[in-house]
């Protein structure tokens, strides 16, 4: 993990600890902790988004080893329709 992400997590933890010790302003410290948590999540997401080596499930598309599955489904439907109509 990068120093930026670790730093965000450390500050988030400090804010959560401060919320426990400063009950009168806990809402403020919990809000700050959420902000730092969000910054860490955004940094992590940007690294996955910018990394071309990481292909998520949506990047892979409908193709499989056999080829485009839509064409196979269409061929199956045509065979079924021709078999039923020609019966």
Give 17-58 pLDDT, tens digit per residue.
999 999 999 999 999 999 999 999 999 988 877 766 655 555
What separation in angstroms does the CA of 85 have from each of 35, 45, 53, 71, 78?
Answer: 64, 53, 49, 21, 10
Residue 87 pLDDT more than 50? no
Termini Cα distance of the chain: 65
Write phi, then psi, for 52 (nearest 5 degrees).
-70, -20
pLDDT band at 84 (very low <50, low <70, confident <90, very high): low
- pLDDT score for 26: 97
By the 8 A CB rule, do 62 and 69 touch?
Answer: yes
- pTM (global) more than 0.85: no
Q: Which residue has the higher pLDDT, 78 or 20?
A: 20
CA geometry: angle at 56 spanning 53 and 59, to 5°?
A: 95
């Amino acid at each position: 993990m990068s120093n930026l992400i670790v730093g965000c997590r450390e500050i988030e933890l400090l804010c959560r600890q401060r919320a426990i010790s400063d009950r009168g302003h806990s809402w403020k410290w919990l809000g700050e902790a959420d902000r730092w948590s969000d910054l860490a999540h955004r940094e992590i997401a940007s690294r996955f988004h910018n990394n071309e080596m990481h292909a998520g499930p949506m990047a892979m598309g409908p193709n499989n080893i056999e080829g485009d599955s839509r064409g196979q489904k269409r061929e199956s439907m045509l065979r079924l329709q021709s078999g039923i109509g020609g019966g």
